């Protein structure tokens, strides 16, 4: 390929590939770990009653009502909360702010595939540490010198929970750089590392409204940590774009934190369906690490993952396949409604018995 002279000075990156968002509404969408249930009726009402009059004004750059609602919910101070446009924005800002060393940052080899994209974008050296054969993170691998640590708990796309003791073990050994625990899926049955922010000033917890709160379309993510970490994050954010969250999002996001009962009920349904799906998938010859997230990362005993992926797609059921070393033989199946999962299982039963 011919490169023009001016192209030599361009910041070139290989972008992250998000899961597909099909236009066809009839598709059973088990490919992006969204919540299959709608936002709460109270939130839907607030959307309908939204008064657009104030839109001529800029939104509150500090998103105070949203920050306050999140702080209240978690029992921390507003100075301990940073908000952004989905946790992708929060994570990107965190990489830019905290990973500024010449030593490599560390994350698992099988994990959220945006981490290496941000590292490449911001020219941060990085090292991927191999998960064990059973797809768990090995804490002692992270004890070496590094420029920062980031991992999801539970991990994605495996769904494996590493447990608070293992997280604290890492924190005990990694004192001089920032440790980010990406808790995108924590509400589906894992213990949060939040209590540890009191003890470890260098710990940042990142959360999202996209999964457990049924609001992927609104784009809200947040980070929790010591006030000093949050201040550094805000300094970078305000050097980049003051108005990240828009007015409706700030209001609706604050409102969404109020409906605890609906939130818990939705979580319960997803967890019950996940546990049901595990049994069914196992009976069909799938194996998987035990998932604590709203997806299961499965491998079939004889049917190649890519073939299953195409067959499912043909049948209008979208799941995710990663064409990546070590996980090429897996599919990540998000947990849909009970009815959607029953359709999936019925299809798999028929297909696998026909080949």
Closest distance of CB 210 from ligand PMP, Å: 3
Q: Which of 160, 200, 209, 163 is nearest to 180 (CA)?
A: 200
Q: How far is residue 223's CA from residue 126's CA, in Å, rounded to a whole number?
A: 22
Q: Is 156 in the site for ligand PMP (CB under 6 A)?
A: yes
**Angstrom distance (rounded) from CA 178 to CA 82:** 15
Specify the stretch interacting with ligand PMP by CB under 6 A; choose among 80-88, 134-142, 241-249, 343-351: 80-88
Shortest spacing between CB 354 and ligand PMP, in angstroms:
33
Shortest Cβ 52–ligand PMP spacing (Å): 25
DSSP annotation of 1: -
Cα 269 from Cα 157, distance rounded (Å): 21
- Strand-pair category, 295-300 with 286-288: antiparallel
* DSSP for residue 284: T
Cα–Cα distance, 14 to 119 (Å, whole number): 11
d(CA 339, CA 293): 19
Query: Whole-number minimum distance, CB 36 to ligand PMP, in Å?
Result: 15
Q: Which stretch of DSSP H or E encloses residue 148?
A: strand 148-152
Least distance (Å) between residue 172 CB and ligand PMP: 24
Q: Which stretch, 208-216, 282-290, 328-336, 338-346, contacts ligand PMP (CB under 6 A)?
A: 208-216
Give me the least distance between CB of 88 and ligand PMP, in Å please.
Answer: 3
Distance of CA 276 to CAs 117, 119, 120, 167, 333, Å? 35, 38, 40, 29, 14
CB 126 within 8 A of CB 106: yes
- Which residue sits closest to ligand PMP, CB atoms considered? 86
Chain centroid to CA 244: 19
39 touches ligand PMP by CB under 6 A? no
Binding mask 83-102 for ligand PMP (x = CB under 6 A): ---xxx--------------
Site string for ligand PMP, 112-151 (x = CB under 6 A): x---------------------------------------
Interface residues for ligand PMP in 245-274 (CB under 6 A)?
Answer: none
Which position among 167, 184, 229, 303 is part of the footprint of ligand PMP (CB under 6 A)? 184
CB of 320 to ligand PMP, least distance (A): 10
Count of residues touching ligand PMP (by CB under 6 A)? 12
Residues that bind ligand PMP (CB under 6 A): 86-88, 112, 152, 156, 182, 184, 208, 210, 216, 221
């Amino acid at each position: 390929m011919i490169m023009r002279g001016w192209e030599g000075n361009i910041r070139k990156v290989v972008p992250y590939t998000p899961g597909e968002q099909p236009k066809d509404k009839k598709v059973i969408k088990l490919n992006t770990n969204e919540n299959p249930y709608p936002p709460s009726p109270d939130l839907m009402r607030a959307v309908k009653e939204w008064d657009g009059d104030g839109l001529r004004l800029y939104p509150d750059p500090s998103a105070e009502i949203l920050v306050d609602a999140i702080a209240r919910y978690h029992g921390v101070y507003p100075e301990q909360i940073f908000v952004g446009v989905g946790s992708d924005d929060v994570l990107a800002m965190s990489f830019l702010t905290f990973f500024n060393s010449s030593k490599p940052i560390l994350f698992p080899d099988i994990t959220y595939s945006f981490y290496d994209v941000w590292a490449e974008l911001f020219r941060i050296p990085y090292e991927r540490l191999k998960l064990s054969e059973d797809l768990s993170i090995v804490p002692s691998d992270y004890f070496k010198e590094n420029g920062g640590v980031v991992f999801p708990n539970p991990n994605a796309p495996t769904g494996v929970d590493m447990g608070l003791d293992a997280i604290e073990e890492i924190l005990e050994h990694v004192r001089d750089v920032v440790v980010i625990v990406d808790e995108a899926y924590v509400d589906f049955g894992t213990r949060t590392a939040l209590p540890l922010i009191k003890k470890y000033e260098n710990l940042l917890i990142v959360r999202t409204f996209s999964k457990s709160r049924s609001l992927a379309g609104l784009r809200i993510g947040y980070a929790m940590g010591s006030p000093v970490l949050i201040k550094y994050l805000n300094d970078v954010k305000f050097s980049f774009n003051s108005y990240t969250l828009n007015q409706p999002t700030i209001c609706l996001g604050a409102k969404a934190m109020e409906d605890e009962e609906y939130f818990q009920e939705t979580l319960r349904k997803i967890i019950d369906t996940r546990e049901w799906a595990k049994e069914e998938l196992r009976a069909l010859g799938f194996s998987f690490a035990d998932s604590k997230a709203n997806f299961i990362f499965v491998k079939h005993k004889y049917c190649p993952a890519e073939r299953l992926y195409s067959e499912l797609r043909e049948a209008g059921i979208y799941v995710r396949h990663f064409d990546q070393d070590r996980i090429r033989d897996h599919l990540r199946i998000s947990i849909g409604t009970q009815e959607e999962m029953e359709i999936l299982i019925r299809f798999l039963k028929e297909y696998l018995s026909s080949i």
